[in-house]
Amino acid sequence: MRAYMIPSDGAAPELSETDLPEPGPGELRLRIGACGLNFADLLMMKGTYQDTPRAPFTLGMEVAGVVDALGPGANGPAVGTRVAVFGGQGGLAEYGCFDAARAVPLPDAMSFEDAAAFQIAYGTSHVALDYKARLQPGETLLVLGAAGGVGLTAVEIGKLMGATVIACARGADKLEVARQAGADHLIDAKTQDILAECKALGGVDVVYDPVGGEQFKAAFRACKPEARLLPIGFASGEVPQVPANHLLVKNLSVMGLYWGGYLKFKPEVITDSLSTLLEWYEAGKLKPHISHVLPLEQAGDALELLRTRKSTGKVVVTPQPPSAGA
């Protein structure tokens, strides 16, 4: 089979021919129909992600496809079941073996592309806004990086939860994507002053930030008393430092969120959230925005779209041709 692999520590990824994997105890083998890309894949390529595997390994954190085989003692979905899996790695391949307990059966109407674009982006935003920040109807939510993979879902979910949503992104095209997702107010990070614009709107109650850097600093200053700030990631490359004395003055809370971390110590947070999100999807309340779908042989191009920020929403790679999918 083919897999887009990092062959050794520090090496560039490459499309390779490798043996079909056999599922181990508690694992299932998936015939992969689609793999969603994430900013963390870029960090893994550099070896800077907190959960970077030892090489050799295959990139691709979240996948959807058909269960092809079960390993010894696997108590997951039966062979032939359509599922999505957050595996943390192994998705940019034609087949992969994953923990069967992480497999989530898909609604009949959900395509592999939608499923592969769903878990991390929607899961991160829902756990952040609902479980962590306790976002309330009528509050004001500021979403930085609002046209990106997680940011766009935060706009969508924030609006569903009854918040007034301020979307911040770079350029009119990206802001239009955020507006279509439900944003009430738009801020162009290239040309407008984030702090001034937020203050003119009365300040913010919750900040959702996958960007970091100067944008975090501006959002921090725009917070109302008792606001909650959610650092999700640092796409700017700069990890901001929080002035603790300012936290005291305004009674602010900073809540870090690593969605995948809950799988290790509190997995029910993830499963409960995904159950709610899939119900919303089936009810037509959520629709993943996928700007690009590319075949496995163009996995490098797909990752470059993320690196250069030329995508909106999600980028998906399809290891199998459509006839082998849904």
Predicted confidence pLDDT, tens digits, the chain (326 residues): 999 999 998 899 999 999 999 999 999 999 999 999 999 999 999 988 888 888 999 999 999 999 999 999 998 899 999 999 999 999 999 999 999 999 999 999 999 999 999 999 999 999 999 999 999 999 999 999 999 999 999 999 999 999 999 999 999 999 999 999 999 999 999 999 999 999 999 999 999 999 999 999 999 999 999 999 999 999 888 999 998 999 999 999 999 999 989 988 999 999 999 999 999 999 999 999 999 999 999 999 999 999 999 999 999 999 975 444 44
Alpha-carbon torsion 190, 193, 195, 201, what sign?
negative
DSSP 156: H
Dist CA 310 CA 302 (whole Å): 10
Report CA-CA distances (Å) from 168 to 186, 198, 236, 310: 6, 10, 14, 16
With tokens 């918040």, the residue in question is 163
The region that residue 251 occupies, defined by phi over 0 for left and psi between -120 and 50 for alpha, beta otherwise, is left
Answer whether 0.85 is exceeded by the pTM.
Answer: yes
CATH 3.40.50.720 domain extents, the chain: 120-260
Q: At what angle do helices 267-282 and 119-126 cross, to 10 degrees?
A: 110
Cα 184 off chain centre by:
22
The 8-class DSSP code of residue 93 comes to: B
pLDDT the model gives residue 269: 96
Residues 97 and 324 sit within 8 Å (Cβ to Cβ): no
Note the maximum CA span of the chain. Answer: 60
Count how many Cα atoms sit within 13 Å of the Cα of residue 292 in the half-sphere of its side chain: 22
138, burial (CB in 10 Å: exposed 0-12, middle 13-18, buried 19+): exposed
Distance CA 144, CA 146 (A): 5
- So what's the architecture of 2-118+288-324 in CATH? Alpha-Beta Complex (3.90)
Element (H, E) at 227: strand 223-231
Q: How many CA atoms lie within 13 A of 207 on its CB side?
A: 33
> If DSSP states are collapsed to H, E and C, what string results for 26-88?
CEEEEEEEEEECCHHHHHHHHCCCCCCCCCCEECCCEEEEEEEEECCCCCCCCCCCEEEEECC
User: What homologous superfamily is domain 120-260 in, according to CATH?
Assistant: NAD(P)-binding Rossmann-like Domain (3.40.50.720)
* Strands 95-99 and 27-36, sheet pairing: antiparallel
* Pair type for strands 204-209 and 223-231: parallel
**Residue 203 to residue 108: CA distance in whole angstroms:** 42
Q: Residue 53: is the preceding peptide bond cis (ω within 30°)? A: no
For CATH 3.90.180.10, the residue range(s) in the chain are 2-118+288-324
Give 282's DSSP letter: H
